[in-house]
Structure 1
Amino acid sequence: MPSTPLFFNFNSDPALGKALLLSLGAEAGELNQRKFPDRETYLRIDTPCDGRDVVVFCNLFDPDERILPLIFLCETLRDLGARRIALITPYLCYMRQDKRFQPGECVNAIPFAKLLSAYVDFLVTMDPHLHRIHSLDEVYRIPTQVVEAAPLIAEWLKQHRPEALLIGPDSESEQWVSRVAELAGCPYVVLEKTRFGDRNVEVTVPEIERWQGMTPVLLDDIISSGHTMLAALSHLRHQGLKRPLCIGVHGIFADNAYAELSAAADVITTETLPHPSNSIAIADALAAPVNAWIHAN
C-alpha cells in the first residue's frame, strides 16, 4: 500500500485546500516561503518528502505571479526525493491562445504545457477552455485528468432549480449545455452570438415563449467580462420568465461584471476560483482521480 501522500496548498484558496486535504486523506506539508527585499522568492520545505507521493494544490489563475514559485517548489520536492508529484489546478491558465490569429503571436498554450509537463507527473483540472485544442493530451506530455463540472451543476439544478430552462451562450457551448441538460432532465436552447471584441458582443435569443413559468439558466464555462450574459439578460427581461440564473464554472468577473450581472440575475459558480458566488462544491470530484492515481501505482 502506498504511504499517506503529502499535500501542499500553494498560494491558493484555504477553504478549498482544506476540503481537498480531507478528501485526499493526505498529510499537510509544512512550507516556509517569503519574498526577499528585491521581490525574489525564498522557499523551504519543512516536511520530509523522500520516497513519498506529493499533491500540490495551486490554482493557476493570475499565473504569472505563481508559476515561477510553483516550479521552485516542484524542483525542490524532486531534489528532496519526492516519488511523484501531482498538481491540482482547478483553473488551468493559458488555454485561450491556442492558435496564431495574427502573425508573430505566441501560441502560449503550447509552451506553457511543455513547462508544466517538465515539473509534475500528473495534472488534474476542471473544464479547461478547450476549443481548437480538443484534448490536453495534444499539448501535455504527462497524464492529465479533466474533471467535468456538468454532473455537479446538474445535481445542483435538480436540487435548487428543477424548473430550469438551460441557455447556452453560443453554438460552441451546445455540446456542454446539452450534457448538463441531459443529466438534470431539463430542456435547453442555444443563443446566436457575434463577437466584435472582448467587450463588444451581439446576442440573438431564440423564441422561448413556450417555456413560460420556467427559470432561464444561462450556462458558460468562463464568466469574464460578463458581456455575453448581460446581452442575453437584456433580451430575457421582456419574455415573462422567472428571474434568471447565471452559472459559470470559472467566475473571473473582470471589472464590475459581478455587480452588473447580480443586478439582473442570480449568479453562482463552482469553487474553482474563490468568490462570493461559489455555490457548487468541487473538492471530492477533484480528489477522486488523484486518489486513483496514487493507489494505482
Structure 2
Amino acid sequence: MNRTDLCLFALDEADPLGRDIAQHLGHPLSRHEERRFEDGEHKCRPLESVRDKDVYVLQSLVADRELSVNDRLCRLLFFVGALADASAARITLVLPYLCYGRKDRQTKDRDPVITRYVAQLLETAGASRVLTLDAHNLAAYHNAFRCPREHLESRLLMVDYFASILDDEAVAVVSPDVGGIKRAERFRRSLANRLGQEVDNAFVEKYRSEGQITGGTLAGDIQDKAVIIIDDLISTGGTLLRAAEVCQQQGAQSIYGAASHGLFTGDTNELLGSPLFDRLVVTDSVLASRRPAAPQDRLVILSVAPLLAEAVERLHGGGSLSELVGLDD
C-alpha cells in the first residue's frame, strides 16, 4: 500500500491516543501548529503539504479542564477549512467521541436538533468522511450526515475482556434503559458466541425529565447471575448507579458496568467508590486528562488505538470496515 499520500493529524497533542494510533499504524503523526492569541482567538494549520493527500484528523469532541466541547469543535472546523484550502484530496475526521449525540431529536416544542447542525458544520468546513465510535443514536448519526460516515463499536473489545474474566458463570446483559436495548442485545449475542453458552438479557425502565431520572422496574431474570450493565457512555454515573441498585435488589451475584466513553463529569466519587460494582470498564476514547482517580482494580480502561488504526488502514486502502464492526458476530 502506498502511504506517501497519507497524512494523520492529532489535534490534541496531550492525548496519547493519537500517538498510539500512529504507532499501531506504523506511520508518523503529521506536524501542525496551533497558536492562541491574547484575545482568546486562535489559528491552527498543517506544517507540511497536504496537497492531493488522503488526510485523517483525530479529535475527540469532548470538554476537559482546558477547553470546552465548543472550543474543540470550533478548532476542528477551522483546521478542516485550512486543510481544504490547502488542497487536501480527502479529509476524514476520526472522532472517537462525537459531541451533541444526545440532542438528536425534538423532545419539546422548538427544540434544536444539534446532532444535525454539527454534521452540517463539519461538512460545510470540508469534511469528506466521518468516522466515529459508538454513536449515542446510530440511526440519528447516519441520518444527520450527507457525506460518507463510518461507525465502529467497542463491543468486540468489551467481549474479549469479559470473556477473559467470566469463567463458567451464569451471565446476564442489562440495558440501563429502553433506548439501549438494541446495543445491549448486540453485545449479548457476541458474548454468548464467545463464551459458548446462553447469556440472558434484561433492561431497566428509565424516565428522564429536566435532568431528573425516575423509574426502576427491571424486566428479565438476573438472580444469581453475573450482570453486565452496558451503555454507550458514563457521564455523572447516575443511570449506571440506579441500574446497579435495581440489579442488586433483584439478586445479582456480581455487577459490572461497561461503557465506551468514560466522560466522568461532575463528582463521580459515588460511582467509582460504590460497592455495587465489581469493576467499571470503559475505553480511552476521550482525553486521558479526563481519567478520574480510582483504584486500578475498580476502573479498567481498554485501548481503542488498534481498532482506530486498523480502520484508517482500511479506509486508506479502500477496504471494508465490516469485520471490525463484527456484523456477523
With normalisation by structure 2, the TM-score equals: 0.81
**SS of equivalent to 1:94:** coil
Pairing partner for 1:146 from 141, 151, 165: 151
1:191-210 Cα distance to aligned partner (Å, 9 max, x none): 2223344233322234646x
Q: Which residue of 2 aligns with 1:257?
A: 268
For the aligned residues, what is the CA RMSD?
2.3
Pairing partner for 1:158 from 159, 163, 170: 163
- Taking the aligned partners of 2:40 and 2:17, their CA distance within structure 1 comes to 27
Q: Which residue of 2 aligns with 1:246?
A: 257
- Taking the aligned partners of 1:38 and 1:126, their CA distance within structure 2 comes to 34
Determine if contact 2:200/2:221 at 8 Å carries over to the other structure. no
Q: Are positions 1:183 and 2:190 aligned together?
A: yes
Q: Which runs of 5+ in 1 are unaligned?
A: none
The 5-angstrom pairing of residues 38-117 of structure 1 reads: 38-62=39-63, 63-117=69-123
Q: Deviation at 1:232?
A: 2.2
Aligned residues: 293
- Taking the aligned partners of 2:301 and 2:166, their CA distance within structure 1 comes to 13
- Paired letter, 1:200: I
Pairing partner for 1:122 from 123, 129, 136: 129
Determine if contact 2:9/2:31 at 8 Å carries over to the other structure. yes
Q: Which residue of 2 aligns with 1:204?
A: 217
- Taking the aligned partners of 1:31 and 1:230, their CA distance within structure 2 comes to 42
1:145-170 Cα distance to aligned partner (Å, 9 max, x none): 10022222111111123433221112
Q: Percent identity?
A: 24
Q: Is the deviation greater in 140-149 or in 263-272?
A: 263-272
**SS of equivalent to 1:47:** coil
- Taking the aligned partners of 2:179 and 2:158, their CA distance within structure 1 comes to 18
With normalisation by structure 1, the TM-score equals: 0.89
- Paired letter, 1:139: A
Q: Is the deviation greater in 189-198 or in 244-253?
A: 189-198
Determine if contact 2:19/2:29 at 8 Å carries over to the other structure. no
**SS of equivalent to 1:125:** strand
**SS of equivalent to 2:215:** strand
Distance 1:12 1:225, change over 3 A: farther
The 5-angstrom pairing of residues 262-273 of structure 1 reads: 262-264=273-275, 265=277, 266-273=279-286
- Taking the aligned partners of 1:144 and 1:207, their CA distance within structure 2 comes to 35
- Taking the aligned partners of 1:207 and 1:120, their CA distance within structure 2 comes to 44
Determine if contact 1:218/1:247 at 8 Å carries over to the other structure. yes
Q: Deviation at 1:184?
A: 1.0
**SS of equivalent to 1:267:** strand
**SS of equivalent to 1:28:** coil
- Taking the aligned partners of 2:241 and 2:90, their CA distance within structure 1 comes to 45
